[in-house]
Structure 1
């Protein structure tokens, strides 16, 4: 009875953590958020402009999409979604070292 219960608990925990699925395609509510104007002057209240106050930067000139379609190296001709919050895949193929031009040629004596 204990192994099925353990497996069920593990499945619930993985589901609660998000599992392996990523949701980065589409527009989300926070992307439609607008900056509110500074509150109007109120009688008896002086709003100071503090140099240490946090400032919201302007939007970038060339925004980077959160998700993009790239060619899948494991399935040539197929596309896959790549999310910005996921690091790129690690390339484990070792490239041969470049010949070192600073090494002298071996003696031919």
Structure 2
């Protein structure tokens, strides 16, 4: 039985006023228990926390953007699925993903 996403929540805050520019975000995904179709074994459900940060824009470059995302923020051990009773697939550890964009 594949993992079933039971809840996903994402909140984002864009600073304004004197602090206009930076953006923060946080989210969580909850996944129900998993196992095989015969329910002969079960893997526990899990929740994964995520974080996002985008600093203020740089005045030198037109429309610059830098973003840092962190998946599995708390570095929890979890299992994304199983191919059979003896092959359980672990989830990724804490992962950092960054991106940068600029227009000239």
Band the TM-score falls in, shorter-chain normalisation: under 0.3
Bigger relative contact order (CA 8 A; separation at least 6): 2
Q: Return the structure number with greater strand share.
A: 2
- The TM-score normalised by the length of structure 1 is 0.21
- The TM-score normalised by the length of structure 2 is 0.22
